[in-house]
Structure 1
Amino acid sequence: MRHLVILGAGTAGTMIANKLRHRLDRIEWSITVVDRDDEHHYQPGYLFLPFGGYSRKQVVRSRHAFLPAGVDFVVGMIDRVVADENVVLLEDGRRLPYDQLVIATGTTPRPDQTPGMLGTEWRRSIFDFYTLEGAEALAGALTRFDSGRLVVHITEMPIKCPVAPLEFTFLVEAWLRERGIRDRVELVYVTPLDGAFTKPVASAQLGGMLEERKVHVETDFLVERIDTERKVLVSYDEREVPFDLLVTIPLNMGADFVARSGLGDELNYVPVDKHTQLSPEFKNIFAIGDASDIPASKAGSVAHFSVEIFVDNFLEHIAGRPMTGAFDGHANCFVEAGDDKALLIDFNYDTEPLTGKYPFPVVGPMDLLKATRVNHLGKLAFRWIYWNVLLPGRPVPLPALMSMTGKHVPEPEPDQQEA
């Protein structure tokens, strides 16, 4: 019998287990999934927790409940992968041999990597919402905050769901207005990017929304440390941003076992071919979702679309045939805009988010890069889709590869004439 071992029972790992268990011969292949605990978190729900939108019960369920019969679920901490011996070692001494390995252990906020972030002000005036505990603590802090300087800060890219900091900013601005205290709060958005987002069309639209809501944007800010005594962010070029309440997105990194295994880059992401997710060094190791170094958003939609391509590729790969599928970096994300509206962005490696309709031209029903009630309802509906369709590996009626259908390509600007 041959052994497929999947490290990580998050979005990508769970989908792969469900899809491949139905496609691999049970006599020929065993499937083992490994994770540190039995709690599967719906991470997009963290965004709403600080505002009382979701409860813990709505965002946490059992991991094994979403794994199919015929898949072994192992709870344990991963020590390292010994790639030359085709074995995974757990911290308790267990050994899991594999013929094919899929690393799907995601990415994690690491506040310990920024001096001062985990100091005396952590969870007092400095909060995150990329963890369940952080989002719950922030909920309490927001109820006590009624005036001062609220700073939303991104430490460095890449991060999980790169639009989430913008979403939080729009939501907290609307929440402050609803409480009647917006005029008593100065909002600041601090980013290492040169604008609100990474691509020109979306950056202009989202940056314009920040400007309309009187949110000051501090760009190209690479934090060197946090001065907790003075409550100040300090950049490498010695700029300072003071705060009364700091909502930060810490540096995101892949799992530590990746570094111990010699499989990762400086942020513990596994280098892979961006179209097939196969390691260029080890021909039986794949990395899927947030765990890989592909130049795409670290978002659930990327995990979903890449898994659709991966499954057929994997079956070709183990049969000794060339992999014919090529993932294009497809991502689409709802962007909460506050006031019960949201935008939708759809893009890939080569095409930036554009305006238009999705998924069908003219009829949509969703607008791209436009704040609408329909998009907001789509964002809320996704939680049900996630638990009941996506994780179980059921078909989702959306193409895995990005389509230009319904998108408006901006006209190229005319060349400037020489004087």
Structure 2
Amino acid sequence: MKRLVILGGGTAGTMVANKLRRRLPAGEWRITVIDRDGEHLYQPGLLFVPFGGREDLLRPRRRLLRDGIRLVNGDIERVDPVAKHVRLTDGELLRYDYLVIATGTSPRPDQTPGMLGPEWHRSIHDFYTYDGAFALRDALQGFTGGRVVVQVVDQPIKCPVAPLEFTFLAEAFFRRREMRDQVELVYVTPLDGAFTKPIASRYLGRLLDERKIAVETDFLVERVDAERKTLVSYDEREIGYDLLVTVPLNMGAGFIAASGLGDELNYVAVDKHTLQSTAYPDVFAIGDANDLPTSKAGSVAHFSSEVFVENFLQYVDGVAMTHRFDGHANCFVETGDGKGLLIDFNYDTEPLPGRFPLSWLGPLSLLRPTKANHWGKVAFRWIYWNLLLPGRRLPVPTAMSMKGKYRPKEEVRP
């Protein structure tokens, strides 16, 4: 009996477990998923909670895994990739023949001096966690005016467009409450613009300008002075706030460092096309747990998992892995007022305007706010629970296509 152990029962771990359970002979393979708790969180829904959203956010992990998959709840202490076993903090030892690391990435407010403390979830908030999103909802309901600062500590972060989405939704929220003129909105980023890629950065930057949202770029926060309600950068710039909405430093799981498997942020080094560990060939890292040079987004987990499954089946059969992940990512960006835009890109091509997925019809628009894009994001919740997690194939190409895309005239190079 061959043993496949999957660490993490989030988006990528659940998808891969279900896909492989279908494809691997049940009499020859034992598949085990390990996660610290028994509840699966729909993370995209956290964005809407601060503005009154009450989405279907939590479901039991056991119900999301196919029959024949063992679920173990426990904290991982370390992995021994030489002896090929996983040790849990309660002492249980699980041996494997093949290991898939899918433990994602998490916000670490403890890594920024002054962020945690008496003002955490009072005047300093996050929305990337379940408790944080609901605490922020209460804070926004009671906010009477002042400066709201939305701040990103550093890249990479889970869902890199989410801070922008929050900022746009907050601006629309205050307008609906007829108090926009009482609120100063400031977007603070370590980047030199609104986004990591230049064309999308300019499009999104224009939207920020139109909404009268100030942008502070190249701001690398050194500490939070919670008493003075001030962000302090390494170059000694200061930004005051009345309400701080922060995206803390994101890091991979602690056991990755303890096991000698990761970089300084606890991300596993992998081949960017196959997701195979560069150090241990029987170890793979998927979803947000690896160091792929692309967005840590649900779409990347989806597209790369499709490639991983096909490669893994070849690998265990002893043949060369022939499928290659191209870094494909696409993300809906809520822009408020029931509209959103869509970005689609990969390792080699930045987000461009156009139509998606059909060049002549769309129906979705790239880099342009539309109601169709908003409803595409809303519909994703049903797709997530009913198609994506069960491991069913979606009618969206895994590899990025240039069909329907064009380079704006001002960006055309000679």
User: TM-score normalized by structure 2?
Assistant: 0.99
Q: For residue 22 of structure 1, give the secondary structure of its aligned residue in structure 2.
A: helix
Q: How does 1:103-122 map to 2 (within 5 A)?
A: 103-122=101-120
2:164 to 163, 166, 183: 166
Partner residue, 1:331: 329
> Equivalent residue for 1:97?
95
State the distance in 2 between where 1:72 and 1:370 align: 44
Aligned length: 413
Aligned to 1:201: 199
Q: Over aligned residues, Cα RMSD in angstroms?
A: 0.8
1:80 equivalenced with 2:110 (yes/no): no
Deviations 1:114-164 (A, max 9, x none): 000002211110000000100000000001112100000000000000000
Report deviation, 1:409. Answer: 2.4
Counterparts of 1:370 and 1:340 in 2: how far apart (Å)? 13
Residue aligning to 2:64? 66
Amino acid corresponding to residue 365 of structure 2 in structure 1: D
Instruction: Say whether 1:299 aligns with 2:297.
Output: yes
Residues 16-52 of structure 1: per-residue CA shift (max 9 Å, x gap): 0100001101111110000000110000000000011
Aligned to 1:29: 29
Report matched runs for 1:1-400 at 5 Å.
Answer: 1-55=1-55, 58-400=56-398
> Which residue identity does 2:2 align to in structure 1?
R
Quote the Cα distance in structure 2 between the aligned partners of 1:351 and 1:206. Answer: 17
Q: Matched residues in 2 for 1:9 and 1:134: separation?
A: 21
Deviation readout 1:243-297 (Å, 9 max, x if unpaired): 0000000000000000000000000000000000001110100000100000110
Instruction: Provide the C-alpha distance between the structure 2 equivalents of 1:229 and 1:312, rounded to a whole number of angstroms.
Output: 53
- Amino acid in structure 2 at the alignment position of 1:280: T
* Distance in 1 (alpha carbons) for counterparts of 2:282 and 2:192: 39
Percent identical among aligned pairs is: 66
Matched AA of 2:44: P
Once residues 248 and 368 of structure 2 are traced to their aligned partners in structure 1, the CA distance between those partners, rounded to angstroms, is 29
The separation in 2 between residues aligned to 1:326 and 1:378, in whole angstroms, is 27
Letter in structure 2 aligned against 1:343? L
Cα distance in structure 2, aligned partners of 1:118 and 1:402: 40
Give, in whole Å, the separation in 2 of the partners of 1:414 and 1:67: 49
Structure 2 unaligned blocks of 5 or more = none
Paired residue type of 1:29: W
Q: Measure, in 2, the Cα distance between the counterparts of 1:413 and 1:6.
A: 45
| CA distance in 2: counterparts of 1:54 and 1:389, whole angstroms | 21
Q: Deviations over 1:391-418 (max 9, x none)?
A: 0001100110101111112345566xxx
**Whole-Å separation in 1 of the counterparts to 2:51 and 2:236:** 34
Matched position secondary structure for 1:152 = strand
Q: Distance in 1 between matches of 2:342 and 2:61?
A: 29
Q: C-alpha displacement at 1:54, in angstroms? A: 2.0
For the residue of structure 2 that corresponds to 1:48, the secondary structure is helix
| 1:270 match: secondary structure | coil
Helix, strand or coil for the counterpart of 1:320?
Answer: coil
Specify the SS of the correspondent of 2:100.
strand
| Corresponding letter in the other structure for 1:333 | C
Letter of the 2:6 counterpart:
I
- Which letter does structure 1 place at the counterpart of 2:135? A
What do the CA deviations read for 1:276-332 (whole angstroms, capped 9, x no partner)? 000111010000010000011001000000000011100000111110000011011
Q: Hey, what's the Cα distance between the residues in 1 that align with 2:70 and 2:89?
A: 18
Q: Which amino acid aligns with 1:6?
A: I
* Partner Cα distance (2:41, 2:85) in 1: 28
Q: Deviations over 1:349-395 (max 9, x none)?
A: 11000000000012100000000001000100000000000000011
Query: Given residue 195 of structure 2, which amino acid in structure 1 is its aligned partner?
Result: F
Tell me, what secondary structure is at the counterpart of 2:332? Answer: strand
- 1:226 & 1:17 partners in 2: Cα distance? 41
